[in-house]
Each structure stands twice: as C-alpha cells, then as structure tokens.
Structure 1
Amino acid sequence: MNGFRTRGHPIALAAVRRAVRTGRPPHAMLIVGPDGVGKTTLALDLAAGLLCVDPDPASRPCRDCAACRKVEHDNHPDLHRLMPEGAGDQIRLVQVHALVAELALLPMEGRWRVAIIEAAHRLNPDAQNALLKTLEEPVGAACIVLVADEPQSILPTVASRAARVRLGPVSRPEIAALLEDRGVADAARSTSIARAARGRPGLGMTLAALPEASIVADRLARTLLDLARADPSVRLGAVGGLVADGAALDAMLRGEGSRAAGVTSARGARVAPAERRRAAARVLAAWRDLGRDLFVAASGGGHELNDPQLLEELRDVASRVEMRDLLAFLERLDALIAAVEGYANPELVLDALALAWPRARAA
C-alpha cells in the first residue's frame, strides 16, 4: 500500500521515498512553492516514513503502526512542528532555541527526531541565525524540514545548508482525483473545483469544504479585472475592499471560519497587522493568477485559464492592454510579493500596484 499522501510532484516524492528507503535523509531540507501546493503534506510524508516502525523500509510509511498513527494525530514525541505565533505572525528566537534543545536529545521512540518548520519565511532574522548554527553543525539523528512559500525571505546562509525541493502546480486531473478519493466531491464537481484550485490541492480541499471561499475568490478576481478599466481614484478606493476579501479568504483557507464570517460581514473593518499581511499576500497571489490569465487570453487560449468564466472579459481587457506593460507589471508584482513577506506596508504595496496595473484603452 502506498502510504505517501502527496499528490503530483513525482521528482520531489521520489527524493523523499529514497530518503525513507535508505534511512539517509538530508540533515536539512527546504521545501518551497505556492501556498496550498502540498509542501507540508510532503514534509509530513517524510516524517511519517522516517518514524514508521514497519520492518520493511520499502513499506514505510505503512500508516498502520503506532508511530504512523501518532504522526497522523500530531502527537509523536519525536515529531516537532514549529509555526508562526504571536504579534507579527513570526517564528521567534525563543521558539527556535526550544526546538534546538529538543533536537539535541536522543529520539524517544523512533530512529529520528524530525522538525518541520512551517511558514519558514516567517522566521525572523534572529531566529534564522540561531537555526543556522544547528544547520552548520547538525546533530546525528535529527532532520529539519523548512517549508516556505517565498524563499526570498530565507537568509542565503540558511538556504544554502539545506537540500532544496521546489514544488510547482499540480495537474487538474491529480487534484480532481484527490477530491474524489477523499469523498468530498463527485466527478462533475471535482473537475470544476480542480480548475478553481489553480494547481493547489490544499486550496481544492478547502473550496470543496467551503463553497463560500469560491465566492470570495471569484469576487476578488472580478474586482481586480474591473480595476483595469478604472480611473486612479477608483483604484485606490478599492484597496480596502481587496484587503477585506483577502483577509476573509485567508481566514477560510486557514480554517478560521468564524473570523472569515466576521471579516466578510464587515468589509472595511480594521484588520490586525499580521492579518493584513496575509490578506495582502492572498490579493497578490490572485493578481498574479489574473495576469497569467490575461496572457493566455491574449494568445487565444481558454482551456488553460485559471478562471474560464471570465474568458470573454479577459479577452476584452487583453485586447486593450499592452502586453509589454503587463509583463513589466508582473515583474514588479513578483518583487513586491517578496517585500510583503518582509516588512513592507501591505496597504502601500497594494496602492502602488493598483496605480501601476495597466489600464485598458477605451473601446
């Protein structure tokens, strides 16, 4: 039985299988890729495989032994998961110090101690420097997996000491099959959701469970498209609504349904700093997807669109926008995505992009 939960990513999964089968994982691994694409799932597959006690290495993770069940329920004493917390939504020095102290100990039950640092791009500089010492002098039975959406926020000295694995979008058939296998959507609905998931299985699972997330995502894409036809004052006035929709979508994707309902019902309400940063990241991701769709529409494509329902409007706007201006905008967008992951003011970034978004010529 295949105990790996990762869908797609055959090259990355082959590397994890090899590490599990040989019992020789890298002392540190950096998994990078878009949010929801399966990075944490791959990290947990590696952890389950290393901690599994099945006597046959080729059968690990078996998902049936006590160790596998503990990994599944997040209560294995040799699995440590670190994630942002507190003001600023950062991973702080004190958290890394505690983790390093745990990794210095011998495993309690298995052959390894495995640490998964989720949202590693939120490690603050002091925390990264503290982690660097452990990466430079790895302990014998520890494997550290860093999971990051945007690797630009990882210090080069940290990134260079980890085996890098990059995950890209997962195919629509793979996502549709996942939804059907999990029993969350039938064949017809799974195809539609897989298209809306934009290559991200995690997003697909959320959209299947929360149809309202699709409504917010569609509204966000439509608002951004409408801004291509709008005057500067209208563009700037729309930023508050974009942040609110981004915050609502982020809350849904993070499993915080009650907060999402509050944000959605009070668009324009004040959003906490950490939430604003995450909200802006959601808006920027939607903007990047829309920019790609404009390129596809301009070339006469349609089936490859992230949102085929906007096909006619996309073709209309694409026919009235200079493609070189759109390309320059997307290059700037990629740079500002990294800035938001750092310490740039999210609203100022969105204001700047709203004004730089290529304007469609009058019909």
Structure 2
Amino acid sequence: IPIIYCPECGEVPVPDDELPVVLPEDAEFLPTGESPLALHEGFVNVPCPDCGRPSKRETDTMDTFVDSSWYFLRYASAGFQDGPFDPEAIKKWNPVDQYTGGVEHAVMHLLYARFFTKALRDLGLIDFDEPFVRLFNQGTIIYQHQKMSKSRGNVIAPDDYVSEVGADVVRSYLMFLGPWEAGGDWSDSGINGVARWANRVWEVANRDSSELDHSPVNENSVRDVQRALHKTIKKVSDDMDGFKFNTAIASLMELTNTLTQAWERSDLTSDAWNEAVSNLVAMMAPITPYLSEELWEATGHESSVHTQSWPEWDESLAADETITLVVQVNGRLRDRIEVPVGIEEDTAKETALTSPKIQPHIQGKNVSKVIYVPGRLVNIVAG
C-alpha cells in the first residue's frame, strides 16, 4: 500500500514516479503475527516525500480481492503500458459475457467486483454498470451422499482416473452426472459408462464409409439419420447455451446409438454417414477436446476441429413430424395417440373418438362435447 506515515505531515502518498513500491527480496518470514515487512528496517524507514523527516512506510499489503475485483479489465489488454487498461480493448471485451463460479462468491468477490465497476463508471473510466452480463453458479460434486472433505477421507483425486480413462472421459462424466447447477454424486460405475460411450464414438468415427457404397440405400433410413442429426444439433446447441451439459451429452449418446444401428443396417449413403459423423465430432469438441481433435483428423479433415464453425441445423429436418395427443374421457387419461404435426381439429377429434382404447369408455353414452387443445390433448365429455 503506497502510503508513508510522517510525524508532521501525516499520511503521505508515495510519489507517482516511485510507483510501484517494490518489495524487498530479503524479508524474513517469522511467526510474529506481523507483516514480514514491519521487521525490515531498510524497507520501513524512509524520508517523508513532502518534508524529508524520518518516516515509516505502510507495511500492510492489499488483499487479493483488490486484484480480483478488476482483473477482468486488465485481462483485456494485459500488455498495455499507459494505464490500468486499454479503453479500446475494454469497449471490445467488456463487460464479461459469462461468469461461472461457486455460490460462495456472491457476498465477497462478486460484491467487490460490482463495487469497483460502479466506482470506475462514476470516475468516467468505463461506460458500463455491471462487470458480468450473466452469472451461473455450478453445483458441488459429492461422494457417497456427502460433500468431499479431507477430514472425512472421501476426496476423489482425478489423477488416477485420468491415467486410466483419459481427461476427456473424466470431464465428460463430471458434466453428465447431473445438472451443472446441482452437481451430483460421484460413482465409478457412472464414469465407466461414459468411457464406454467414448469408445463407441471412436469405433463409429473410424469406420470406412466407402463400405456403404456397396449396399442398397434405403431413403427412409437416410432421412431418419438426417433428422436425428439435425434434431441433435438443435438440442445440443440449446443445451450448451443453457449450461445443460448432462442433457447435451445424453443427446450425443443417442445420436451415437442411431449411427451404430444405421451402420449395422448398411442402408445409408456414404455422404449421409460422413455428414453425421463429422457433425457428431464437432459437437463433442467442447466436451471431449482431445478425442474430437484425433477423430477430426482421422475422418479426413484438415486443420483443427476447434477452429471450425459450430454446426447449423435445418429447421425443417429438426422439427417433429408427429406429436403425441393425450386423450381423456371426462377428464381421465385413457389413451395417447401419435398424429401428424399440424393436424386439423376435426381430424384430431375423429382420430380420438375412433381409438380402440377410447371406444369402450364412450360406447352407449352420449358424447356431449369434444374439447381440443391444439398439439396437446383431446377431452371427450360423455355421459
């Protein structure tokens, strides 16, 4: 802290041309309960910058919160020499789009960061009001239904697992075992399941797609795979934006299974197969960066998967072709029927009324009303 205490002048700031105050390298760290600087006479004893009388330096140091309260501004231009940060870089990079951390930061680091930001705003150094646009608190990983603790002896060190199944599998499992904001309970069987999925993806991506050129093509199968792909791209895109990593991985697992089954049927074109595999690998890149990079090269691509654009979906292929209508009789669930998207009201009502599961409940009764809620249900009032 650049302050000098003078018996005559009081608290005197260290002159600007002497900043920053360089700490001595030979300070002794002794168990005195005081700062080591307080015992270093060469550091403590200095003349007053104003009157020259013998004075003493402040020996306390700034809390690390002072730095963490504005580091996101310095990061935007870490090499800038003419001030704490480059105003042009701040305009480009700040405020921070996404902050992720533990909920325990809410009343300490986040509070201080907001204070610093608002103070700098009031000084006219920045033109925004909040340091972070979006906050997301991650949950806690527990083990055997208890928070991990050294005193309990239940801390899971990842190193052994990384050595055995790889960092990508460990990372994927942590993302898969529960909602990101809720955390989850570590389980060896769970991580083994994720490892099996990674191995299946490896097998799928390393298949020789030219083998499909020697088999008859089923256009329905091609369309089914394309629809599964585009539904997955849309679902994973939405889930990644919402930090729903567990459901994003579940969708990638479903697509892997779809491709495995399609290969067993051998009724796809090689182009459809290659498109699906490439997009699967690209979507996995943020989750399994090492595996995806290997597979991207193995499937014939140049450069890095991490420099590619995120896959885009075709809305017509991602849309559902059918929906499930709930059918009730006098308010009680009696059937669920699959119908085309956009079905007309009269057709939906007629389909419900003629359902084999509905007929026993309305035979011999007077149907006084049929209520249709588009895309959701048909309720038959009979008595």
Greater share of residues in helix: 1
| Alignment TM-score, normalising by the size of structure 2 | 0.29
TM-score, normalized by length of structure 1? 0.30
Structure with greater strand percent = 2
- Which structure is richer in relative contact order (CA contacts within 8 A, separation 6 or more)? 1
CA radius of gyration, larger in: 2
